[in-house]
Amino acid sequence: MTSFWSNWIIILTTITIVGITWLLFGNRKKDNAENQTTGHVYDGIEEYDNPLPAWWFFMFTVTIIWGLGYLVAYPGMGKWEGLLGWTQQGQHDAEVAKAEERYRAMRDRYLALPIEEIAFDPAVKKMGQRLFGNHCAQCHGADARGAYGFPNLTDTDWLWGGSPEAIKHTLNYGRQAAMPAWGPVLGDQGIKEVTAYLVTLNNRSADPALAEAGKQKFGMFCAACHQADGTGNQLVGAPNLTNGIWLYGGSEADIAHTLRVGRNGMMPAQSSILSEDKIHILTAYVYGQSNTKGN
């Protein structure tokens, strides 16, 4: 907070407290005349100019004193930190540390077990669901089915591999997509040709001449990552282009746009946010989502 806003808050708060106090005590006094009215009449009923009842006046007084004490003890006057040194962050960290200590033994027990063994444990699923909701659902959705540009984690199509080891590596270190823009290399005609070829890889019809020319260009520029048959390569995060699953849309317009401008999706590393045991449980949850028994 800048000094300007700090001073602004202090001034406004002080004016408010002083004004309320003046209003309260200023209206405490009255003339000696009894039954004095304000001059207001409502439906024949006159309004008397009487002070607040004593208990009401003292209640307001105590409230003001309590408010002053609060502003001295706790932060509330701009940059003033308060005599008690309390902060929201400090209280949050203390409560988190208490919870960590309470549940650490249970998480450590699961940490010692293989992912495949705990993936379908009801307790692990509940903990994993909460972790997923807090750290992953913003991108992948509450149901883990993804969205435009964010992978569906409930199917068996994985960019970087769906084994427990691969999922844990992704959570720990993140992933960085690197689909280059081919517009300057292929040109408009080349984009049309490769798009037509990719459409045929998904058993859809396309102009045969365009598709054949696109196949040649695919072998020159795309096969190094996506392999000659277009089935992808999880070692470099290159998606399978033959199964009809598209991260950024599978229409001809979407495919052409991806070829023209490229894609640079990023999965952030979670190791700096989540402890080892939490990543282990979250890995089990994600693994279980795509390997649900009965599928």
Percent of the chain with pLDDT over 90: 80
**Residue 268: per-residue pLDDT:** 96
Measured CA to CA, the distance from residue 88 to residue 102 in angstroms comes to 21
pLDDT band at 54 (very low <50, low <70, confident <90, very high): confident
Lookup: tokens for 228: 């000659």
* Between 275 and 51, the higher pLDDT residue: 275
Percent of the chain with pLDDT over 70: 97
**Residue 30: per-residue pLDDT:** 59
The per-residue pLDDT for range 245-295, each reduced to its tens digit, is 999 999 999 999 999 999 999 999 999 999 999 999 999 999 999 987 544
Stretch 14-35: mean pLDDT, rounded? 81
The per-residue pLDDT for range 175-192, each reduced to its tens digit, is 999 899 999 999 999 999
DSSP H helices, the chain, are 3-26, 54-73, 88-111, 115-118, 122-135, 137-140, 164-173, 183-201, 208-221, 223-226, 252-261, 276-290
Lookup: tokens for 23: 């209003």
pLDDT band at 35 (very low <50, low <70, confident <90, very high): low
The per-residue pLDDT for range 199-252, each reduced to its tens digit, is 999 999 999 999 999 999 999 999 999 999 999 999 999 999 999 999 999 999
pLDDT band at 33 (very low <50, low <70, confident <90, very high): low
Stretch 4-33: mean pLDDT, rounded? 86
SS3 of residue 179 by DSSP = strand
- What phi, psi does 150 have (nearest 5°)? -125, 120
Sequence-separated (6 or more) residues with CB below 8 Å from residue 250 = 202, 244
Sequence-separated (6 or more) residues with CB below 8 Å from residue 86 = 73, 74, 75
Stretch 59-87: mean pLDDT, rounded? 93
Measured CA to CA, the distance from residue 279 to residue 284 in angstroms comes to 8
